[in-house]
Structure 1
């Protein structure tokens, strides 16, 4: 038994309401259970009750035992002075508040159906290889499950919005600059995402605007800020880039404090930072006013066309400076573009739509459902338990479900867990 289960019982009124009374014998009517509080303070705000015929409005606190009130020192905390009802599983001691008045208490232990308790214990105590409900989730109605996945996807967008909106403030509401910084993080992938992010943040976007008409200067700027032009190399192209960077560094008073060094280890050659930074430079050069192009794109094909760029010609025969390789054009693959759209473009579109009061939910759903489902160990786990994930929206939702609910045992805040306990 834990307090999350008691929160569920109270929120959804999953207990016997017949002849409801407080532990002092006063008649109790619940007019409104209130609103869940996910921060510090009482568990539910703005509840409305009738206790002994007297109507009250205030907060509700929930504990396993009445004595937990004192265990948590609520009697000394002003945040709990407006609590009008103490909901507990077991009443073991009276709680007194101001003027030595007994706090109205509702004990739930004898008011919950055995079937609900059994289902709860079966879910939480299940032996599992992946998630708690792995042997039961197939029982959930597909309509309920798909609705929950859609809610989870927008919850994930809200989470991603926090960094975007924070960065927007740092760029003085310059959406073009914001997009540059967030794209840099995506181009770096997991290994170099933080490094590329720090490179982008080390350069004021006004500098990017001034150099992006020159592909060599743009590439030199990103390489130089990323610390990739500090080696001994006699390669002609390398020397040209280094010379360009020294010029830009002096002209714009560039600094590299706070830039995280890029990594080459554990990377396949197509993901080397040299190639990814060159591809990003090419994007800046070939797709100026990129933000407006992205915002005006209404389908996946238009976005694919925008990101159809390649590293500069030097990289056709190189992966690193000075070392010739077999010739191939280093283009952005569709799989890589999909990751950019999932992790940057759609979240930025979502935030921008909210900022101008434009409803974009349907457009976003259409875009994300047009993308192929992702593949990783977590997604493979869901496939193992026979969940049908069909698009990138489903896989993004599944990641949100696993990381924010399943691994934290938040079954009672999950539509799947709630449905299973109801059975």
Structure 2
């Protein structure tokens, strides 16, 4: 038995409310279960109940056994003086207030349906190691329940990303173009160089990017130089020209890059080399003076593809790194890479910006994310092996949220799928 189960039972009144009485044999009428408190102090604030003929307003504390009140030293803590009801699974002792009056106790095991308790045990206390707790029953859950829950999870994921974006906005003095630049840079670096690219972007005042973006030679030199890719001595005419441009910019704008994390080439496919991605990023910003406004106004996937269909500068047609020639090919951003940028940067920024303005664009967000194919990764593939459910990027993003924020943390009681399995007959 876990206390979380009792929180769930109380919060959603998953017991025989009409028949419930206190352990002291008094009638109990629950008017409001109160507000769930996940911090220190009583478990539910501002509950309203009626015991016998007496109305009570105050807090509710929940334990597996009543005696845990003393184990946790609540009798010595003033925060628990306003507890009006002690909700327990097993009433093994009475609790007395400081005035020696007995604290009303609800013993849940007398009023919880046995089927609910058995479903709970099967879901969370199985002796067999599973990938997720509901692995054996996942396929039986109705598609409507799963789809509805995944949509909620997707927006939960967006809300979490929005918190990070709004913190960046604060540090950027409400400059949305600067926030977009930092996040785009991070995601151009992918997992291997994401943190390095972010540190490079944060080392450059966005005002400097604005001043040089009309000149692609200077813009590319700025990006390469701040990322530390021009620190070596390379006998390559293009490298030497970039280095010369960068030294001019570094002196003119008093730039510093000593805290920028070094980029990596190891275990990367050549199209994802930091040289190629930084050049593509430079070309993107060279092509659009007000990229943020442009991207926020777009509503369809096809238009996004047109905006992001940029290639690295001409030198990179025959190179992946300096001083090492390769077979000629235009280094154009692929649709799969653009999808990653949309999923991880553009849509979260668009969602955050609309929230900042007080606008609701949920339908537009859903339409956009559902027009993209589902991502391919081990988590999505495992869920699909249990039941094929990932039809678009909305589902694949939601499944990541489900696995990492619910399944991994055994939060089945807060999960829409877990709830369905708990309450089945």
Tell me, yes or no, whether TM beats 0.5: yes
Over residues 217-240 of structure 1, what are the superposed CA-to-partner deviations in whole Å (9 max), with x where a residue is unaligned? 111111111111111200000001
The residue aligned with 1:102 is 102
1:272-306 deviations in Å (ceiling 9; x for gaps):
11111111111110122000111100111111111
**Structure 2 counterpart of 1:398:** 399
Matches within 5 A, 1:184-223: 184-223=185-224
Cα deviation, 1:89-122, whole Å, max 9, x if unaligned, reads 1122222334333322111122211111111111
Q: TM-score w.r.t. structure 1 length? A: 0.97
Instruction: State the match for 1:124 in structure 2.
Output: 124
Identify the residue that residue 79 of structure 1 maps to in structure 2.
79
Unaligned runs of 5+ in 1: none
Does the 8 Å CA contact 2:20/2:111 hold for their aligned counterparts?
A: no
SS of 1:85's partner is strand
Q: After TM superposition, list the pairs within 5 Å mapping 1:192-341 onto structure 2.
A: 192-341=193-342
Matches within 5 A, 1:4-153: 4-126=4-126, 127-153=128-154
Q: Aligned in 2, Cα 1:121/1:314: closer, same or farther, shift over 3 Å?
A: same
Task: With the length of structure 2 as denominator, give the TM-score of the two structures.
Answer: 0.97
Contact 2:19 2:111 in 1 (8 A): no
Corresponding residue SS for 2:109: coil
Q: What do residues 32-62 of structure 1 show as CA deviations (whole Å, max 9, x unaligned)?
A: 1122223333222221101232111222121
Q: Which residue does 2:347 correspond to in 1?
A: 346
- The yes-or-no answer on 1:377 pairing with 2:378 is yes
Moved more, 90-99 or 174-183: 90-99
What SS does structure 2 have at the residue aligned with 1:408?
Answer: coil
Residue 128 of structure 1 contacts residue 134 of structure 1 at CA under 8 Å; is this kept in 2? no
Q: What is the rounded CA distance, in whole Å, between the counterparts of 1:75 and 1:285 in structure 2?
A: 67
Deviating more after overlay: 94-103 vs 211-220: 94-103
Q: CA deviation at 1:128?
A: 4.8
Q: After superposition, what is the alpha-carbon deviation per residue over 1:226-280, rounded to whole angstroms, capped at 9, x for unaligned?
A: 1111112000000011111111111111111431111111211111111111111
Deviation, structure 1 residue 18: 4.2
The alignment's C-alpha RMSD in Å is: 1.3
Moved over 6 A (4+): none
| Residue 361 of structure 1, CA deviation | 0.1
CA-to-partner distance for each residue in 1:59-80, whole Å, 9 max, x for gaps?
2121111122222233333433
Deviations 1:98-157 (CA, angstroms, capped at 9, x unpaired): 433332211112221111111111111343542111221222222121110100000000
- CA shift, 1:83, in A, is 2.1
Distance 1:325 1:78, change over 3 A: farther
Give the match for residue 3 of structure 2.
3
CA gap 1:79/1:209 in 2 versus in 1, 3 angstroms: farther
Work out whether residues 198 and 260 of structure 1, in 8 Å CA contact, stay in contact via their aligned partners in 2: yes
